[in-house]
């Protein structure tokens, strides 16, 4: 019984050492949580800033498109609907404007008669929003994001009417803005590996994405958590959730105002949580390892120290009382 009580005393000393370590463990965990929170705030703020820059860049591009179409509407080959001369002119012109997937002109009945890119057979574009809006409004019109019939590329199209002296529509010229500008922006942004740029419409359809654009463009994914978050907020914001590919990310998103005529369209940027929290997690692991080593040394010291400084003396006193 005596040895058992002495052993219990040693165990109690060890438990006392562990109790002394618990506040330090709590402080480490609290600090790690605070570092993760601050990292999330910083990453989301930077992603939102970049999303705003991307949105602003697109607005400047749209104004550039408007000025270009106004100029093209004055060209005689376009006004005369000279298909061969117009196509040749636009083919040479598009070489100077790599942002555009195509330049072309459409007859009032919707038939494509001029295109910078070669096309096979007749193509009718009466169903395109930019064509209808330009013809009806007699002014600059923004279309929806689409896959071009002549180019096969994801573009946002813009139209402008060519009017005769009486104000009747002789043609509608258009410019198809290549969404590859999103890829170029992503490349110059120096974002961490695994980051994501996505353009989503009001129905949850993926209109553009970087990377792996071919895999995702055209898919409707309103049930995906990040898409739900964007559509529910219907404005600018941030979210911490999984992307369309299932990877957890910190997201920032903002509407593209240039597409307001054809419904809400959103640009989102996501940074992988693993990357965003890497520094905080590394510090946590280092602190936990350090605390573990200290705790181990303290327990070893308590185990042998208890025998050397306490239990032996207690045993001597107990033996002296017998």
pLDDT in tens, 144-184: 677 777 777 778 789 999 998 888 999 999 998 887 666 66
pLDDT at 300: 81
Residue 210 bridge partners (DSSP): 197
CATH code that applies to domain 73-176:
3.30.450.20
In this prediction, what percent of the chain has a pLDDT beyond 90?
18
pLDDT at 131: 92
The CATH topology of domain 1-60+179-322 is Beta-Lactamase (3.30.450)
Domain with CATH 3.30.450.20 in the chain: 1-60+179-322, 73-176
pLDDT at 120: 80
pLDDT at 4: 40
- Its sign, for the CA torsion 19, 24, 29, 34, is positive
Pairwise pLDDT comparison (112 vs 5), residue with the higher score = 112
Pairwise pLDDT comparison (15 vs 262), residue with the higher score = 15
**Is the confidence at residue 57, as pLDDT, over 80?**
no
Chain-wide mean pLDDT for the chain? Answer: 81
Residue 197 bridge partners (DSSP): 210, 269
**Is the confidence at residue 56, as pLDDT, over 80?**
no
**Is the confidence at residue 25, as pLDDT, over 50?**
yes
Q: Is 207 left (phi over 0), alpha (psi -120 to 50) or beta?
A: alpha
3-state SS assignment for residue 42: helix
Q: Residues 53-73: what's their mean pLDDT?
A: 82
Confidence of residue 1 (pLDDT cuts 50, 70, 90): very low
- Token pair listed for 120: 């096979």
Q: Is the omega angle on the peptide bond into residue 10 within 30 degrees of 0, that is, cis? A: no
């Amino acid at each position: 019984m005596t040895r058992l009580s002495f052993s219990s005393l040693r165990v109690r000393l060890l438990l006392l050492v562990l109790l002394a370590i618990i506040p330090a463990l709590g402080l480490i965990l609290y600090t790690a949580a605070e570092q993760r929170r601050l990292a999330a705030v910083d990453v989301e703020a930077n992603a939102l800033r970049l999303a705003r820059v991307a949105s602003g860049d697109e607005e400047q591009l749209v104004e550039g498109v408007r000025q270009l179409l106004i100029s093209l509407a004055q060209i005689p080959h376009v006004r005369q609907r000279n298909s061969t001369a117009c196509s040749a002119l636009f083919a040479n012109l598009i070489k100077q404007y790599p942002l555009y997937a195509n330049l072309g002109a459409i007859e009032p009945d919707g038939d494509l008669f001029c295109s910078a890119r070669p096309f096979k057979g007749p193509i009718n574009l009466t169903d395109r929003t930019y064509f209808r809006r330009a013809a009806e409004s007699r002014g600059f019109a923004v279309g929806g994001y689409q896959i071009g019939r002549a180019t096969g590329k994801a573009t946002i199209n813009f139209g402008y009417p060519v009017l005769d002296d009486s104000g009747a529509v002789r043609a509608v010229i258009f410019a198809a803005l290549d969404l590859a500008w999103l890829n170029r922006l992503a490349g110059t942004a120096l974002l961490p590996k695994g980051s994501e740029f996505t353009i989503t419409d009001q129905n949850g359809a993926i209109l553009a994405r970087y990377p792996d654009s071919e895999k995702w463009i055209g898919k409707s994914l309103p049930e995906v958590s990040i898409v739900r978050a964007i559509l529910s907020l219907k404005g600018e914001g941030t979210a911490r959730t999984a992307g369309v590919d299932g990877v957890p990310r910190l997201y920032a998103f903002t509407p593209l105002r240039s597409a307001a005529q054809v419904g809400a369209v959103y640009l989102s940027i996501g940074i992988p949580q693993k990357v965003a929290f890497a520094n905080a997690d590394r510090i946590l692991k280092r602190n936990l390892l350090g605390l573990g080593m200290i705790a181990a040394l303290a327990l070893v010291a308590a185990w042998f120290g208890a025998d050397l400084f306490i239990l032996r003396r207690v045993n001597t006193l107990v033996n002296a009382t017998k």
